Each structure stands twice: as C-alpha cells, then as structure tokens.
Amino acid sequence: MPRPALGPELLVVSSFDDTAVRRAHRGGDLVRLAPGRYVRAGLWALLDAPDRHALRAVAVISASAYPLVACRETAASVWGLASLGLPPERVHLLDTRASTTQTTRHAVKHRGALEESEVHERCGILVTSPARTALDLAAHSARRPAVVALDDGYRQGLFTAAELLEGLGRRGEHRGAVRAEAAIRFADGRADSPGESLSRLVFDEAGLEPPTLQQPFQTRRGRFLVDFCWERAGVVGEFDGEVKYRDRSMRQGRSAEDVVVDEKRREDAIREDPRVRRFVRWTWADVRRPGLVPALLREAGVAVLGSTASRVT
C-alpha cells in the first residue's frame, strides 16, 4: 500500500467528550498526535519518521486557536529535506505573536517575524519557504545536519547558494550569521545522499584536501560517476550506503546479488584507468566512527590541507 499524501484529511478530530475516539485510542486503533487530533494506526504505520513528524505538525497547527507556521527541522521534514538522524520529538513552529520561545508538550514555539514571501502552504498548513527553512537551519542547527539539509536542497533545486546568501544579507547582523554563511558556502548539491554529505564533512573536519564530486570516468564498460575523486593523489572514494542492494526500486529488476556483481565489475573497470592508484570504500558505520575514514584516505595518499570548520567561530 503506498504512503498516503500528508494533510489534515488524515486526521481524526475529536472533542473532549468523544467517548468513541477515546475508546479507539485505548484499543490501539488511533494514535494521538495532539489534543483532539488522532490518526488511524494503519496509516501511521505506512509513514517514515520525517513524514510522521510532518503529520504531527499538521495536527498541532490544526488544533491551534491562532496561526502558527512550521519552521526549522519541522519545515525541513515537510519539504522532504534530508537529515542525519530522527526528527526532534517536538515540532518546531514560528509564532509571530510571541515575545519569547515557548516549549510545550508537543511543540517548541519560536518568536520571530516573517516576510510574506517566506511563508508557503504545504500539506494543508503554513510552512516557512524552502529558502527561509535553509537559512534557519544554517543559523541555528549544528554544522553537520545543516550542511546535509543544504546539500539536499541544492540538489533538489529548492534553493541556490546565491539565494540563501542574499536572504542572509537581508537579515542583517544576527546570531549565527557567520556559521550560516560558512554552511551555505560549503554545501554542494553534487553530494547525492546524506551519507555523501556526511563524508564531505568528515573530510573537511579532518583537514583533508577537498575532493572532486561526481567525477566521470569513461571505461570499457561505459561511463561512470564516482562519489569522490582526489586527482592529485589518484584516489577514488565511494560511500556505500547499501540502499542500492536493499531497495528494490533502485535495483531495476536485478537481485541484490546481481547488484553486488555489477558493482564489482564497475569498480574493476574504474581501477583500470591509469589515473587511479587507490580505490577506497566506506559505509555508514565507517563514516560515523571517529577518524576511521580520514585515516584510510591519508593512508591511500590524500593530502592534509586544513579544515574550513576550524576557521568558523
């Protein structure tokens, strides 16, 4: 069964004295998302973590007596921007009437102003625009999740670096501006997955020479793009997220075993290029282990130049 489109129509709305809804909730047929807002358990089971978070935002906003706008990590979930981990437990909302940030059981309500162009409607609720969402993440989130989201937004064409830098300039001097600018300039839409984005961050934090992304190689088996290439060192690097093996939609009718064989043949063909001296692969587990991937790349001959992250205050 395909995942349903997100929106208020998925919610079961009840009043305080709705006995039937309370009974269905106790029996496990309904999942409570916010006061008076439920979703059927069967539909809930079809949603991944970002979509569940987005639907929680729909529930909280629809239950509010005054307008609220999904923002930050919650807006990123609504727009489908990539993330490193699970969404936050509470939804993040912007309340233009608030004088200070407020935290409730279900939401974090941030104070702030919005231009008309910075508010869109999606999934039946108001949400900060992709560019405003990216600016907020760059300014207020840690570097790693911010860059992962920005890489994905560039890749999807939701915003450009020039657009974000212009928006940052309009905001003037503010807390997080230096960090935001650094993330915007470092992000690169050629990173094809969160794992590749995290890999780029790990390289930079270790001070490694920046690689070329999506470098083409013409081989006897055809033209291939590699995730990372350090041309001076003759090193090719590939992040192996294992999705290509597990996700049937990406296997194009092939078995997982066929994909493994095809990958081996592809790697062998690339290795035959005289410019390639070393071929390094790593996984999610590898890139999350501190120092492992940089050590492998240094051993392969990748130079150490110094981190851009260390220059950001």
Name every residue whose Cβ is closer than 8 Å to that of residue 42 and which is 6 or more positions away in sequence: none
SS3 content of the chain, % helix, strand, coil (to 5): 45, 20, 35
Band the pLDDT of 261: cuts 50, 70, 90: confident
pLDDT tens sequence across 225-246: 999 999 999 999 999 976 544 4
pLDDT at 210 over 60: yes
Per-residue confidence (pLDDT) for residue 32, from 0 to 100 = 96
pTM of the model: 0.89
Q: With pLDDT > 70 as the criterion, what percentage of the chain qualifies?
A: 92
Scored b (16 or more CB within 10 A) or e, 97-113 reads eeeeeeeeebbbbbeee
Per-residue confidence (pLDDT) for residue 263, from 0 to 100 = 87
Q: What is the mean pLDDT of the chain?
A: 91
pLDDT at 74 over 90: yes
Tokens matching residue 31: 């999942």
pLDDT tens sequence across 37-71: 999 999 999 999 999 999 999 999 999 999 999 99
